C-alpha cells in the first residue's frame, strides 16, 4: 500500500486550507472541526503538534482561532465534513424511524402525527402583556 504524501493530498485541500502557512495550522483546523465539545481549541492545539506549556495553550489557541485564515479554513472544513457525513446522518434517521423498539420511536411517531391544517393548530396569543400600555 502506498503512503499518501503531502503533494498527493494537496489537491484534496480547499483554497482556505492551502492558504494556511504550514501543516500544523491545517492539523489544528482538522482537530478543531472534528472535536465538537467545549474546549476543542485547547485540545486541538497540542494535537496539531504545537508545543506549549499548559498555561499558554488556551491563549495560543485563542490567537489561532481569531486569525482570519483559520476562520476561513474552519468554515471550509466544516462544510466538507457536513457533506461527507450527510449519508450517514440520513441512514441513522431512517434506522430510528424503522426500529419500533427504539426509545425515541414514540417521539418520532408523535411528530409524524402533527396536525398539518390550520384548523387543528392551536392559536397562540403573541402579544406580551407586560408591554401593553397601561391606562
pLDDT for res 128: 60
Q: Tell me if 102 is assigned to some domain.
A: no
> Is the pLDDT assigned to residue 76 strictly greater than 90?
yes
51 belongs to a structural domain: yes
pLDDT band at 126 (very low <50, low <70, confident <90, very high): low
Q: Which residue has the higher pLDDT, 71 or 93?
A: 71
Range of the domain at 23: 6-84
Contact 44, 35 (CB under 8 A): yes
Which residue from 87, 93, 66, 74 is spatially nearest to 28, judged by alpha carbons? 74
pLDDT at position 73: 94
Residue 21 lies in a domain: yes
pTM of the model as a whole:
0.59
Q: Which three cell numbers stand for residue 39?
A: 474546549
The DSSP code for 80 is H
Domains identified in the chain, total number: 1
Mean pLDDT in residue range 43-70: 84
Amino acid at each position: 500500500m502506498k503512503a499518501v504524501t503531502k503533494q498527493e493530498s494537496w489537491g484534496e485541500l480547499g483554497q482556505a486550507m492551502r492558504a494556511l502557512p504550514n501543516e500544523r495550522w491545517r492539523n489544528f483546523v482538522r482537530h478543531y472541526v472534528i472535536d465538537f465539545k467545549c474546549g476543542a481549541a485547547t485540545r486541538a492545539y497540542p494535537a496539531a503538534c504545537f508545543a506549549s506549556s499548559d498555561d499558554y495553550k488556551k491563549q495560543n489557541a485563542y490567537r489561532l482561532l481569531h486569525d482570519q485564515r483559520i476562520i476561513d479554513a474552519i468554515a471550509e472544513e466544516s462544510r466538507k465534513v457536513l457533506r461527507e457525513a450527510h449519508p450517514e446522518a440520513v441512514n441513522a434517521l431512517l434506522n430510528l424511524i424503522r426500529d419500533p423498539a427504539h426509545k425515541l420511536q414514540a417521539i418520532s411517531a408523535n411528530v409524524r402525527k402533527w396536525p398539518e391544517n390550520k384548523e387543528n393548530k392551536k392559536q397562540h396569543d403573541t402579544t406580551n402583556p407586560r408591554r401593553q400600555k397601561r391606562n
